Structure 1
Amino acid sequence: MKKCIILFVAMLLIMGTAFSASAHFQVILPSDDLINDGESTELEIQLIFTHPSEASHTMDMEKPELFGVLHKGKKVDLTKTLESFTFHGGDAWKASFNAKGFGDFLFYLVPAPYYESAEDKYITQITKVVVNNLGMPTDWDAELDLQAEIVPLNKPYGLWTGNVFQGVVKMDGEPVPYAEVEVERINSQAFSGLAGEEPKFPSDAHITQVIRADENGVFTYGIPKSGWWGFAALMEGEEIKGKDHEIGAVMWVKAYDLN
């Protein structure tokens, strides 16, 4: 009996270490981030709640409360276009969209709250990503009046490896001083449509980077490698059913190597 208890405790410790090494990230993954002249404007967009650096565990997503796009100042609700699919054993969502016309297409997602039993709390990560057509900037820094969002201070596309990404963390329209921001890179081998080597981490501490915004809610991160990078600012929301509620503001950017 004593051996069983010791084994059970050891398993819990191992599981706790595994879950603490990588973070929950709501992903919006478009099939293309930059559309050049003559290229197809048809996009497939995947909505996945997972651990992107490891792709080790994917959480089930209920149908999102809102999924939409902003283009040239006009919002379009795309929630009804969503279709369910399975990603690494978890329920996820996808949509097709034709990004006709030049400029920025700012996609945004308000997922249904997810109950994380291991932490006994709800998690809602409100997420944004920008796809650009023909290089003309239009809406990349637009504020969407979401409960929580990252407002970029530099274009969140057309980035080189080594560039920095800066953004302002906002909650209810106001900057969040000293917000904690988690950073992860997508494991490109685990996601369809992406090419690249599986990341090799020298330690668990390297999987999720953690930075702080300054007194004005501004954070800065130097992008060390090409690929998709996610930034998740974590804040406290109102309780749900008597449980803590973590509100996340997430933004995804992609960096390229300079050849």
Structure 2
Amino acid sequence: MTTYAIGDLQGCHAEFVELLERLDFDPRRDRLWLAGDLVNRGPGSLACLREVRALGEAALTVLGNHDLHLLAVARGGADLNRKDTLDAILTAPDREALLDWLQSRPLLARQGGESDRDTVMTHAGLLPQWSVGQAEALAGEVAARLASENSGAFLERMYGNRPACWRDDLDGIERLRAIVNALTRMRFIDADGCLDFTAKEGLDSAPEGFAPWFQYPRDDAARLLFGHWAALQGGLPGARVRAEALDTGCVWGGSLTALNLDSGERVSVPSRLHR
């Protein structure tokens, strides 16, 4: 059995199928970890959702910010953005089954049995101020709200840039929003773990006093898998943690990349977009 980790699909279905073929991926034998953002921006969001859901237990995916945006539009009253490519999902005959499946995905996946060297996957990364166990518990709080009868009210109020700094005494929607932002939107933070939401490009776009979250040390040796940051192109300059950047910008004309979690080998297929 081989386990592969893949970054943001963002509707790049043709490349996803090609990559699985290159890997000779067999769901009866192999396993797939997906770092979220299955949908949006690319032309095949509906096909991506259907493909990953059909893999059943062979595929483990965490929620990304675009996945949550889809849920917010479909079930929280949010508006579509001009660049969204979600209409096919919203009008699909299997819409509700797909949304139910997506809404039941976690924000954090962990493998290793509560060791300080566990493999942990989230969409955007992990705050250095959080232990793996704390992050897992906090992700569980959001998952519980998504599974609750008032999930629509949560999705309606989920997004916002405040609070930008985590505090253990946060409660209510501010607590849940801070968790979501850290796990699905984080790029640059300051030494106190406060998030910046303005800079989205490479490392040279860091605001004064901020640095990439992976340039701050952690108290454990967990292996962190994340997507979300296409501008990194799989590189982690100056990293002070064990981390693997998985998003290589397929939807922006880059590539779709799979990381063999056992050997460390990377296999990529080029984007079919923007050629």
Tell me which interval the TM-score lies in, with the shorter structure as reference length.
Answer: under 0.3
Bigger share in helix? 2
Between Structure 1 and Structure 2, whose CA radius of gyration is higher?
Answer: 1
RCO (CA 8 Å, sep 6+): is it higher in 1 or 2?
2
TM-score (norm 2): 0.26
Bigger share in strand? 1
TM-score (norm 1): 0.27
